[in-house]
């Protein structure tokens, strides 16, 4: 039964893109925001970010390339410290884009927010190589772990399978 509860997911899907937003081969153009509220019954987590891409007529660099900016992260029942917000903001700033966001709710009242995202450094290296035949880098899983006591940890697990708790 616990494994079933651990598999219970508070999942939100990305909204469909408006017809004016297109994929230009690098990123969804020109800017898009993601906002999710994951409700686990015993608590919820909310995250909102903005994604932007470089001008397709220019070469990307790590300073002005694709950009993910944290707009909001909250856990209303538990609070989030300024230090935790800073660590989450820094994690998102190292991303080129976020493909998906999912949350896992656990019986111990903890919440994991999973972000599948492309690291900015990997994507810029891929672009700078300029080899169209080179395999495209894969996005990584980044996890914001919120313990029942409100403690927040950031992890990058090697597997995409949630641990049972």
pLDDT at 144: 96
Among 165, 122, 120, residue whose Cα is nearest residue 145: 165
Q: How far apart are CA 134 and CA 106, in angstroms?
A: 40
Report pTM: 0.73
Which residues of the chain are under the pLDDT cut of 50? Answer: 1-29, 63
CB 88 within 8 Å of CB 154: yes
């Amino acid at each position: 039964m616990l494994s079933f509860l651990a598999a219970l997911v508070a999942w939100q899907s990305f909204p469909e893109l408006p017809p004016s937003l297109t994929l230009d081969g690098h990123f969804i153009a020109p800017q898009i925001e993601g906002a999710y509220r994951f409700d686990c019954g015993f608590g919820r987590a909310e995250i909102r970010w903005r994604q932007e891409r470089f001008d397709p007529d220019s070469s990307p660099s790590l300073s002005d390339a694709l950009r993910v900016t944290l707009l909001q992260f909250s856990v209303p029942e538990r609070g989030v410290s300024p230090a935790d917000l800073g660590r989450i903001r820094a994690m998102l700033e190292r991303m080129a884009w976020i493909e998906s966001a999912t949350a896992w709710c656990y019986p111990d009242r903890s919440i994991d927010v999973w972000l599948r995202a492309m690291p900015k450094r990997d994507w810029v290296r891929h672009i700078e190589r300029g080899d169209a035949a080179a395999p495209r880098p894969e996005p990584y899983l980044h996890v914001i772990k919120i313990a029942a006591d409100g403690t927040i940890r950031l992890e990058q697990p090697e597997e995409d399978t949630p641990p049972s708790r």
